[in-house]
Amino acid sequence: MSSQTKSPETAAARETPARRRRRVDRLPYLLLLPALLIIGVLLLWPLGQVVVMSFYRLNSVRQLRGDRDWPWVGFGNYVDILSDPFFLTVLRNTVLFAAANVLLTMVLGTLVGLLLNRLGRKMATFVASCVMLAWATPALTGTIVWKWIFDDTSGLVTWLFNALPDGLSNGLFGRSDWTGYGWFNSPLLFFSILTLVVVWHSFPFIAVSVLAGLKSVPSELHEAARVDGASPWRVFWKITFPLLRPVFGILIVLSTIWDFKVFTQQFVLAGGTQDRPTFMLAIYSYAEAFSPPPKYGLGAAIAVILTLILLAVTGFYVRMVLRQEDES
Amino acid sequence: MKKIALNGAGLLVALFAAFPVYWMISTSLKPSNEIFSATPQPVPTHPTLAHYREILIGNLIPGVSFLDFFLNSALVAVSTVVLSGLVALLAATAVARFRFKLRTSFLIMLLVVQMIPLEALVIPLFLMIQRLGLYNTLPSLILTYLGFSLPFAVWMLRGFVAAVPKELEEAAAIDGASRAQIFRRVLFPLVAPGLVATSIFSFITAWNELIFALTFINDQGSYTLPVAMTFFFGRDDTNWGPVMAASTLFTLPVIIFFLLVQRRMVSGLVAGAVKG
């Protein structure tokens, strides 16, 4: 491939300069064409279309098929959403959940990464393999298993709480019989369990990335600092963290993006889209659009709001990646 | 002393990470009375395949079995993998082997596009699928997943193509090989491990996806496995034995593929080719 562009002494040298330039110019675009078409039609066009749809009142599938008119409502959908106090609940849920999950995932992932770096070879391989299992498990089945662990009759957690001495259990929680206790009924408990599920799924990626970063740091630096009597805490903040700062930056941004749009875990844990008090933006948009009666325009407007929030975060991310490509 | 503390922490992490997977498999092998006993059994004392037999032989709805959903999912995932691998390889070659005007813009676009929240595209893609008359068909999902997996596939393959030494292609060109021959005989075999790794990521994307499958497919016989599982096993009076058996069958291919990618990443094929 490159022979024609880079080494004139090969086959391309026999062609006239004009012909060569023409061929070299066109081929990469031809190779890119299918990918560009697919990305354009399946990602970029819908992205524009969701904005367009958010300005119309679309309440039936027949409108989508083009059998009926699309009444233009301007910013009507946005006004409806933003003036609804429920939107504030949803926004608060989304932001608090994302913040808690990013923090916990980063802390746990970093600690596990540091740990893997310190363990002996066999132990590190064993722990890393187990961590990989959590990473590899699909969001769907991972969530189903956690739901089983929190089952209100035979679940492991229900059994564990039942096994507590009655006096202790009564003193702490005001009840000793946990059979039939609805673990998912109060929003706070629901979000705690959802956090457990999401952190369990996402800390392996952070741990492995941090470990990869640590492997690239010369170990002499750490040893020297330790010989000088620095505590592990100081070694981390004075040496490890500054060296891995770009890695941490990207990991935080990626986690933020992922945790802002959690859907599958919530959908499965809540058993659908009925549990409105625990709605976050992604599931709110979906429920408005597709739960009967359908409100595609309203759902689209919520999706646009979610996208705008993530766009701001993405801006950060792209700037960070580009800066890194420059440095390397 | 310190070593014991470190190893202890390691064991705790391993337990937290692996326990749910262990519990899923373990539950799937227990007879129902053990699953619902007052005191949970850490290991199945009377292991049985009854739950697997139940979901594999019985029908979840009249005329449709678990296996049919499995095949629907496999068909969608494999089609996605083949299409996205092919298109991604062409694009990756363009980006890794040529310097052209829009190259940087294309790379930046790849990055940005991966950040689009796919959850926000359900509504407009639903509109498109309705307009194209693909509602309720598996191709609607293949098309959707192709778009989702492509940017990452190109981004990843780009590295694998760039890692193939140009000297090999130049040597083939000097020996008189045509561009098509160089692509097929030199580049493709060397990029194949990368293509496998990339394909696995596309496969996992397509295999795991729930929201779009939930929205685009209404006919129960065309459900993919994730949708079938949320519909047939999402009830309150859940019978956990068959659910865990189904979950295990759904999860195992993903875990196996995932571990394969990890190993494929460190393939010394290229280094050997240049030295030899």
Its ipTM equals 0.88
Q: Which of B164, A19, B193 is nearest to B172 (CA)?
A: B164
The pLDDT-based confidence of B38 (bands split at 50, 70, 90) is confident
The H or E element containing residue B65 is strand B64-65
A54-327: CATH architecture:
Orthogonal Bundle (1.10)
| Mean pLDDT, chain A, integer | 88
pLDDT of residue B236: 57
Residue A39 clears pLDDT 90, i.e. is over it: yes
pLDDT in tens, B89-135: 999 999 998 888 889 999 989 988 888 889 999 999 999 999 999 99
Average pLDDT over residues B77-82: 96
pLDDT band, residue A24 (cuts 50/70/90): low
Query: In the prediction, which pLDDT does A4 show?
Result: 43
pLDDT of residue A11: 46
Q: Where are the domains of chain B?
A: 1-48, 61-275
- The CB density around residue A76, as the number of other CB atoms within 10 Å, is 17
Distance (Å, rounded) from C-alpha A70 to C-alpha A81? 19
Average pLDDT on A160-170 reads: 89
B61-275 under CATH 1.20.200.10, yes or no = no
pLDDT tens, A80-126? Answer: 999 999 999 999 999 999 999 999 999 999 999 999 998 998 999 99
Question: How many Å apart are CA A73 and CA A234, to the nearest integer?
Answer: 58
**Cβ <8 Å between A306 and B247:** no
Asked whether the beta carbons of residue A307 and residue B211 sit closer than 8 angstroms, the reply is no
* pLDDT at site B271: 31
Looking at residue A239, what is its pLDDT?
Answer: 86
Q: What is the mean pLDDT of chain B?
A: 88
* Chain B positions in Cβ-Cβ contact with residue A46 (cut-off 8 Å): 121, 124-125, 128
Closest C-alpha to A285, from A262, A265, A269, A258: A262
Under DSSP, is residue B204 helix (H, G, I), strand (E, B) or coil? helix
Mean pLDDT of B5-21: 96
pLDDT digits (tens, 9 = 90+) for B168-221: 888 999 999 888 898 888 888 899 988 988 898 899 999 999 999 999 999 999
Q: pLDDT-derived band of residue A309, with 50, 70 and 90 as boundaries?
A: very high
Burial (CB < 10 A; 0-12, 13-18, 19+), residue B9, is middle
Residue B274 has pLDDT above 50, yes or no: no
CB-closest option in B93, B226, B233 to A31: B93
* pLDDT at B60 (0 to 100): 77
Q: Is A7 on the interface with B (CB under 8 A)?
A: yes
pLDDT tens for A267-280 read 999 988 989 999 99
For residues A9-30, average pLDDT: 59
Does residue B276 have a pLDDT over 90? no
Domain ranges of chain A: 54-327
| A312 close contact with B: CB closer than 8 A | no
Q: Cβ–Cβ of A5/B87 closer than 8 Å?
A: no
Q: Residue A2 has what pLDDT?
A: 41
Q: Looking at residue A174, what is its pLDDT?
A: 85
Average pLDDT over residues A191-195: 97
**pLDDT (0 to 100) of residue B267:** 35
pLDDT of residue B64: 86
B63: left (phi over 0), alpha (psi -120 to 50) or beta: left
The whole-angstrom separation of Cα A5 and Cα B233 is 58
Q: Which residue of A has its CA nearest to B170?
A: A3
Instruction: Enumerate the residues of chain A whose CB falls inside 8 A of the CB of residue B15.
Output: 130
Question: A7 or B208, which is more confident?
Answer: B208
The H-assigned helical ranges of chain B are: 2-28, 32-35, 50-57, 66-97, 103-114, 122-132, 138-163, 166-174, 179-181, 188-208, 211-216, 225-233, 240-264, 269-275
Q: Is residue A260 scored above 90 in pLDDT?
A: yes
Share of chain A above pLDDT 90, in %: 57
Contact A304/B at CB under 8 A: yes
Kindly state whether A115 is in contact with chain B, defined as any CB-CB distance less than 8 angstroms. Answer: yes
CB-based contact B238 A148, cutoff 8 Å? yes
Task: Please give the pLDDT value at position B268.
Answer: 30
B69 pLDDT more than 50 = yes
Residues of B in contact with A180 (CB under 8 A): none
CB environment A107-119: b (16+ within 10 A), e (fewer): ebbbbbbbbbbbb
Interface of A with B in 65-84 (CB under 8 A): 65-66
Backbone angles phi, psi at B100, to 5 degrees: -140, 170
Give, as one character, the DSSP assignment of residue A237.
I
A15 pLDDT more than 60: no
Residue-level pLDDT at A10: 47
pLDDT band at residue A287 under the 50/70/90 scheme: very high
- Is the pLDDT at A13 greater than 60? The verdict is no
